[in-house]
């Protein structure tokens, strides 16, 4: 399982967000360049249709591949109340033949995208990963060099943390308390619940870029 | 008869002397109350004589009355006589009364309590009534006017109060608002104030110096709107600086811009008197947040102060002034922490003289600022997390989770952790630049960085990857029978982990020194790990990489059937004539061409010491040839050349 929240931020404030994250996490940022291929099963494959994502990390000198399956979100009254989406997620490193394997299994490429940005990985109550990336689409198949942004001027911020059915409450608490620190710059919510950009972002970014940025605390 | 009458009244209401003592001290009688005074005054009127006279006269009267009844017809003169007497008596009484009235009129100590007036005639009564009604009407009119005026004033007042209390209620949603009744009475204000002191930090309260800003009085402004007044100068903020690095001016500059922002902000507030309440409340929220932050900064600074004075692992206090701390964090770098007031007195001067420096290198400044800012936030964040949040969470489940005599481990050394993180960041940047430098000049080595999830650990992997083209070529050359024996490794890795300021290098492919002495090469591909310092790092890494390449060449040679022996940094081939050719790696981190260059030495196999000295010699001779930097494919083809030369 994983806990996840998302938000968007204007590209012009990303630098400020990076400073803030740097301070909050204490770790160095990691560059991010991921080619994401979303594969869907053809109708007669399996009992229900399934969707897997193949992630190719282009940041490494040698691209590494990961397959990820995102399952259904936790439902019910308890899940409604928390501000973080808890969903099942399984992922595994795979060899570079994975795409061929899935094609052979009967999956079809649904869409592909390229995420470019940075991430912070740190320990804070839970293992939290903050990813700030711009999502790009490819005009030609697999042409990652000619990708164009899907939403120019807007970047996606995603906070995820692995969890299990035993500890997800603590993880949710850790994630949501972390999200509060980002509040002046961006608002994070469950995926699918769009909250838009935060009106205070410009002021918060300006104060981060100029002074000690104390407003965040 | 009137001469007998004596009334002695005290006409003077002033205090009289009771006695004068011998030394001239005057004694006054003790104060008497109003009732007592009145009784005294009445007592002074001596009615005794009148009473005495009245009693016999009453007797006489009653006798007279009975006698009159008895002899009305017989004694006519007596009848007149009694009348005269009665008249005289009446006169007497009247004169007493008049005297009394006069006396009373002259003396204001006694008032006439009531007097019955003769009954008025109806028309008199009506006219009186009409006059008084007219007067009353006039009064009512005035009163009405007065009420109208005051209602208008009250409405204004209510509107003002509504503004004030509306704003107050909205502030109350986010801030703790309290009221001082005493202050309220004294200042004419309502005496509301905002309490910014966090009660949950009560057990830490002794640590902090009391802040003058923790209570902020709320006042009315001219328009009745709520305002908070605080001296701008008292708002202090924490500033963090790297010393020694040439980015010391960065924060000054930023301090200046911020200050301008603040001042323009305040002028906007003052200029915009007609700003909506919404905006005003937002402004106040902002101000309060600023103050709150300033208080937090002060507290963090205090805690840092406290910790800096305790001797700790890596932090040395090297300078201290009021609101200024200078800490050495090892490796010759130090940082300073300033609790700078955002007031406008001294800042611009500092800013202006630093401005000149900074225009020159604007690009490096940017990263400097972000890095310093990042650490500034990190410091605040650490203290927030480990002191304030802990204190709060401890305050709630205090009952079960408190073990006496066990202080929280990290609380005591947050500053140490911070400084070590800082030192680590500086150090790991140095390591990274070394690695990048190496990788830049050695094309077949790739650098991969790994997330470590920890602020005091960094990790990278150097991977040597043999290009597919060479491998494929090698496979094609291999004779089918031999090629299947062993797959050749195409990738070697070396892991560099930096924890705090110690580097550990772990890699495969380097020969085990012990097994080399024994003349065996089995132990070659085992994983070696060693610690080193920054100065040795390039050499060690290059040796590691070179030996990995030799390892690859060795495996390759064995696969294609060349008899080869490997040494630490050399590979020896036995040639047909019994000579031994060696391919020797030479590592030089300073070499701009390529960090690993190669020598070819040929000896007759008798002088063994060449083996040891070979990589130290820098001059060419007949038996040795400097090949220079060789890419992997050239190395591989060199190896193939040996195939022809070698004896089978």
- In degrees, rounded to 5, the angle at the alpha carbon of residue B372 between the alpha carbons of residues A23 and B322 is 110
Q: Which residue of B has its CA nearest to A26?
A: B455
Mean pLDDT of A161-181: 91
Q: Is the pLDDT of residue A25 over 70?
A: yes
Is A19 an interface residue toward B (CB < 8 Å)? yes
Cβ-Cβ contacts under 8 Å, A127 against chain B: 453
Nearest to A19 among B258, B374, B385 (CB): B374
Q: Would you state the pLDDT for residue B426?
A: 85
Residue B496 has φ and ψ, to the nearest 5°, of -115, 120
Among A22, A61, A181, the residue with its CB nearest the CB of B374 is: A22
Q: Give the pLDDT confidence score for residue B269 in this predicted structure.
A: 45
A107-123 and A85-94 beta bridge pairing? unpaired
pLDDT tens, position by position, B342-353: 644 433 333 333
Q: A92 pLDDT exceeds 70? A: yes
Closest Cα of chain A to B429: distance in Å? 10
Chain B residue numbers with beta carbons less than 8 Å from the beta carbon of A18 are 370
Q: How many residues does chain B have?
A: 648
User: Taking CA atoms, what residue in B is nearest to A15?
Assistant: B370
Mark yes or no for CB contact B293/A214 under 8 Å.
yes
* Nearest-by-CA chain A residue for B368: A19
Residue B61 has pLDDT above 60, yes or no: no
Q: What is residue B407's predicted lDDT score, i.e. its pLDDT? A: 36
pLDDT of residue B483: 42
Selected for mutation to probe chain B from A17, A26, A64, A205 (highest B CB count within 10 Å) is A26
Complex ipTM > 0.90: no
At B594 the pLDDT is 72
Overall average pLDDT of the B365-387 stretch: 75
**A19: nearest CA in chain B?**
B374
Give the span between the Cα atoms of A54 and A34, in whole angstroms: 10
Considering only residues A37 and B284, tell me which one the structure prediction assigns the higher pLDDT: A37
| pLDDT higher at B134 or B20 | B134
Residue among B258, B375, B463 minimizing CB distance to A211: B258
B240, closest residue in chain A (CA to CA):
A212
Which residues on A lie below 8 Å from B453 (Cβ)? Answer: 27, 121-123, 127
pLDDT band at B254 (very low <50, low <70, confident <90, very high): very low
CB contact under 8 A, B377 and A122: no
| Chain B residue numbers touching A173 (CB-CB < 8 A) | none
Output the CA torsion B73→B78→B82→B85 (10° steps): 160
Helix or strand or coil: residue B459?
Answer: strand
Q: Are A8 and A197 in contact (CB under 8 A)?
A: yes
- A107-111, B170-174, B192-196, B615-619: least confident range: B615-619
Checking DSSP bridges between strand B596-603 and strand A127-138, what pairing results, if any? unpaired
- Taking the C-alpha atoms of residue A63 and residue A121, their distance in angstroms, rounded to an integer, is 20
B345 three-state secondary structure: coil
Is residue B189 within 8 Å of residue B181, measured between CB atoms? Answer: no
Q: Using a CB-CB distance cutoff of 8 angstroms, which residues of chain A are in contact with residue B268?
A: none
- Residue in B582, B594, B601, B586 with CA at minimum distance from that of residue B629: B594
**Which whole number is the average pLDDT over A66-77?**
90
Q: Which residues of B touch A123 (CB under 8 A)?
A: 453-454
CA distance A191 to chain B (A): 25
How distant, in Å, are the alpha carbons of A99, A152, A194 from that of A142?
A: 12, 20, 29
Is residue A138 a contact partner of residue A155, using CB atoms and an 8 Å limit?
no
pLDDT one-digit tens code per residue, A11-22: 999 999 998 998
Which range, of A123-127, B248-252, B411-415, B533-537, averages the lowest pLDDT?
A: B248-252
Of the partner residues B257, B293, B369, the one whose CB lies closest to the CB of residue A215: B293
Q: List CB contacts (< 8 A) between B254 and chain A.
A: 210-212
Q: For residue A61, list chain B residues with Cβ-Cβ distance below 8 A.
A: 446-448, 463, 465
Q: In the predicted model, what is the mean pLDDT of chain A? A: 89
Residue B148 has pLDDT above 90, yes or no: yes
Half-sphere exposure (Cβ direction) of B217: Cα atoms closer than 13 Å: 15
Contacts of B385 (CB under 8 A, 6+ apart): A124
CA distance B449 to chain A (A): 8
Q: Work out the pLDDT band at B75, boundaries 50, 70, 90.
A: low
Could you count the other beta carbons within 10 Å of the beta carbon of residue B234?
A: 15
Task: Please compute the mean of the pLDDT values over residues B186-211 and round it to a whole number.
Answer: 68
pLDDT averaged over every residue in chain B: 72
Q: SS3 letters for B396-421?
A: CCHHHHCCCCCCCCHHHHHHHHHHHH
Residue of higher predicted confidence among B101 and A66: A66
A23 with B376: Cβ contact below 8 A:
yes
Tell whether the model's pLDDT for residue B248 goes beyond 50: no
Q: Smallest Cα–Cα separation from B488: which of B544, B556, B557?
A: B556
Rounded to an integer, the average pLDDT of B252-257 is 41
> Is B375 in contact with A24 (Cβ distance < 8 A)?
no
- Provide, as residue numbers in chain A, all residues whose Cβ is less than 8 Å from the Cβ of B255: 211
Determine, for residues A26 and B255 on separate chains, whether the beta-carbon distance falls below 8 Å.
no
Mean pLDDT throughout B117-145? 89
Residue B454 confidence (pLDDT): 87
Residue B315 binned pLDDT confidence (cut-offs 50, 70, 90): confident
Asked if pLDDT for residue B292 goes beyond 60, the answer is yes
In this complex, is the C-beta atom of A95 within 8 Å of any C-beta atom belonging to chain B?
A: no
Q: What is the mean pLDDT of residues B579-597?
A: 81
Looking at per-residue pLDDT, the higher value among B349 and B443 belongs to B443
As given in the structure block, the two tokens for residue B480 are: 């089918």
Beta bridge partners of B617: none
Three-state SS string over B595-641 comes to CEEEEEEEECCCCCHHHHHHHHCCCCCCCEEEEEECCHHHHHHHHHH
Mean pLDDT of B220-237: 74
Nearest to B453 among A27, A60, A207 (CB): A27
Q: Which of B377, B392, B429 to mutate to test the interface with A (most CBs of A within 10 A)?
A: B377
Residue A100: pLDDT band with limits 50, 70, 90: very high
Nearest Cβ partner for A217 among B296, B374, B453: B296
pLDDT confidence band for B66 (50 / 70 / 90): low
Chain-chain contact of B297 with A214 (C-beta, under 8 angstroms): yes
Give the tens place of pLDDT for each residue, B390-438.
777 765 543 333 333 333 444 557 888 888 888 888 888 889 998 988 8
Which is nearest to A19 in space by CA: A187, A115, A132?
Answer: A132
Q: Any idea which of B201-205, B293-297, B552-556 has the lowest mean pLDDT?
A: B201-205
* Parallel, antiparallel or unpaired: strands B596-603 and B580-587: antiparallel
The partner residue sitting opposite A61, judged by closest CB among B258, B382, B446, is B446
Looking at per-residue confidence, does B123 or B29 come out higher? B123
Chain A's closest residue to B447, CA to CA, is A61
Neighboring chain B residues of A216 at a CB cutoff of 8 Å: 377
Res. B253 pLDDT band, cuts 50 70 90: very low
CB contact under 8 A, B381 and A26: yes
Q: What are phi and psi of A122, to 5 degrees?
A: -155, 165
**What pLDDT, on a 0 to 100 scale, did the predictor assign at position B172?**
86
Mean pLDDT to the nearest integer, B468-472 = 73
Query: What's the average model confidence in pLDDT over A97-106?
Result: 91
Question: What pLDDT score was predicted for residue B11?
Answer: 53
Q: Which class for B199: exposed (0-12), middle (13-18), buried (19 or more C-beta within 10 A)? A: exposed
Question: Among A31-35, A187-191, B274-278, B394-398, whose mean pLDDT is lowest?
Answer: B394-398
| A70 and B CB contact within 8 Å | no
Using an 8 Å CB-CB cutoff, list chain A residues near B428: 28
Using a CB-CB cut-off of 8 Å, the residues of chain A touching B294 are: 214
Whether residue B108 is predicted with pLDDT greater than 50 in this model: the reply is: yes
pLDDT at position B518 is 59
Q: Report the C-alpha gap between B263 and B340 in whole angstroms.
A: 16
Asked if B376 and A208 come within 8 Å (Cβ–Cβ), the reply is: no
Q: Which residue of A has its CA nearest to B373?
A: A212
Please tell me whether residue A166 adopts helix, strand or coil conformation.
coil
Mean pLDDT, residues B64-85 taken together: 63
Percent of chain B with pLDDT over 70: 63
- pLDDT at position A174 is 92
Would you call A27 and B377 a contact, using CB atoms and an 8 Å cutoff?
Answer: no
């Amino acid at each position: 399982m994983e806990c996840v929240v998302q938000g968007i931020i204007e590209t012009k404030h990303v630098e400020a967000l990076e400073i803030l994250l740097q301070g909050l996490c204490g770790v160095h940022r990691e560059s991010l360049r991921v080619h994401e291929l979303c594969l869907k099963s053809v109708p007669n494959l399996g009992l229900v249709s399934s969707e897997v994502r193949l992630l190719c990390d282009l940041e490494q000198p040698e691209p590494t591949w990961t397959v990820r399956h995102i399952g259904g979100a936790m439902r019910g009254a308890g899940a409604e109340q928390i501000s973080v989406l808890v969903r099942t997620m399984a992922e595994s490193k795979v060899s570079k033949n994975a795409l061929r394997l899935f094609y052979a299994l009967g999956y079809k490429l649904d869409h592909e995208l390229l995420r470019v940005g940075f991430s912070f990985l740190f320990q804070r109550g839970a293992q939290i990963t903050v990813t700030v990336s711009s999502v790009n689409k490819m005009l030609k198949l697999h042409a990652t060099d000619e990708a164009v942004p899907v939403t120019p001027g807007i970047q996606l911020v995603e906070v995820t943390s692995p969890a299990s059915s035993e500890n997800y409450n603590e993880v949710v608490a850790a994630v949501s308390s972390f999200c509060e620190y980002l509040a002046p710059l961006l608002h994070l919510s469950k995926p699918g619940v769009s909250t838009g950009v935060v009106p205070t972002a410009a002021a918060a970014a300006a104060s981060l870029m100029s002074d000690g940025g104390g407003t965040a605390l | 008869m009137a001469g007998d009458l004596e009334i002695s009244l005290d006409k003077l209401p002033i205090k009289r002397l009771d006695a004068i003592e011998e030394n001239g001290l005057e004694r006054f009688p003790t104060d008497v109350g109003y009732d007592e005074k009145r009784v005294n005054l009445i007592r002074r009127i001596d009615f005794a004589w009148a009473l005495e006279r009245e009693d016999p006269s009453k007797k006489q009267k009653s006798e007279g009355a009975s006698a009159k009844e008895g002899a009305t017809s017989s004694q006519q003169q007596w009848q007149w006589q009694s009348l005269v007497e009665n008249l005289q008596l009446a006169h007497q009484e009247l004169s007493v009364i008049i005297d009394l009235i006069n006396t009373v009129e002259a003396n204001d100590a006694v008032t006439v309590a009531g007097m019955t007036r003769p009954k008025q005639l109806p028309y008199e009564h009506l006219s009186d009534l009409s006059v008084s009604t007219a007067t009353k009407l006039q009064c009512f009119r005035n009163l009405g006017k007065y009420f109208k005026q005051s209602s208008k004033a009250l409405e204004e007042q209510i509107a003002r109060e509504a503004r004030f209390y509306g704003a107050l209620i909205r502030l109350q949603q986010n801030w703790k608002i309290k009221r001082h009744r005493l202050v309220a009475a004294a200042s004419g204000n309502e005496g509301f104030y905002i309490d910014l002191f966090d009660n949950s930090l009560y057990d830490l309260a002794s640590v902090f110096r009391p802040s003058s800003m923790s209570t902020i009085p709320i006042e009315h402004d001219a328009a009745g709107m709520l305002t908070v007044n605080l001296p701008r100068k008292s708002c202090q903020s924490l500033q963090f600086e790297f010393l020694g690095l040439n980015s010391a001016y960065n924060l000054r500059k930023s301090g200046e811009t911020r200050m301008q922002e603040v001042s323009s902000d305040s002028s906007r507030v003052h200029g915009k008197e007609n700003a909506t309440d919404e905006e005003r409340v937002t402004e106040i929220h902002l101000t309060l947040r600023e103050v709150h932050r300033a208080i937090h900064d002060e507290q963090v600074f205090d805690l840092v102060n406290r910790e800096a004075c305790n001797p700790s692992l890596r932090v040395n206090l090297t300078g201290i002034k009021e609101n200024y701390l200078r800490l050495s964090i090892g490796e010759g770098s130090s940082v300073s922490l300033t609790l700078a007031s955002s007031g406008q007195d001294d800042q611009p001067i500092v800013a202006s003289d630093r401005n000149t420096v900074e225009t020159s290198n604007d690009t490096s400044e940017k990263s400097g600022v972000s890095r310093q800012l990042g650490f500034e936030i990190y410091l605040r964040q650490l203290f927030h997390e480990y002191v304030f949040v802990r204190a709060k969470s401890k305050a709630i489940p205090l009952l079960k989770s408190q073990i006496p005599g066990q202080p929280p481990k990290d609380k005591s050394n947050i500053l140490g952790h911070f400084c070590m993180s800082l030192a680590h960041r500086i150090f790991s940047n140095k390591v990274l630049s070394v690695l990048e430098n190496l990788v830049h000049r050695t094309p077949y080595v790739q650098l991969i960085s790994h997330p470590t999830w920890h602020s005091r650990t960094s990790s990278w992997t150097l991977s040597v990857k043999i290009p597919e083209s060479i491998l494929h070529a090698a496979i094609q050359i291999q004779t089918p029978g031999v090629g299947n024996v062993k797959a050749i490794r195409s990738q070697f890795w070396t892991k560099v982990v930096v924890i705090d300021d110690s580097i550990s290098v772990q890699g495969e492919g380097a020969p085990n020194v012990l097994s080399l002495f024994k003349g065996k090469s089995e132990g070659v591909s085992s994983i070696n790990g060693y610690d080193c310092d920054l100065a040795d790092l390039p050499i060690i890494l290059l040796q590691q990489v070179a030996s990995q390449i030799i390892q690859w060449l060795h495996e390759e040679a064995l696969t294609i059937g060349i008899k080869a022996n490997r040494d630490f940094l050399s590979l020896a081939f036995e040639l047909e004539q019994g000579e031994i050719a060696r391919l020797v790696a030479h590592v030089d981190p300073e070499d701009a061409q390529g960090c690993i260059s190669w020598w070819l030495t040929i000896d007759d196999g008798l002088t063994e010491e060449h083996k040891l000295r070979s990589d130290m010699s820098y001059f060419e001779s007949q038996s040795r040839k400097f090949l220079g930097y060789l890419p992997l494919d050239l190395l591989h083809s060199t190896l193939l050349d040996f195939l022809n030369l070698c004896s089978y």
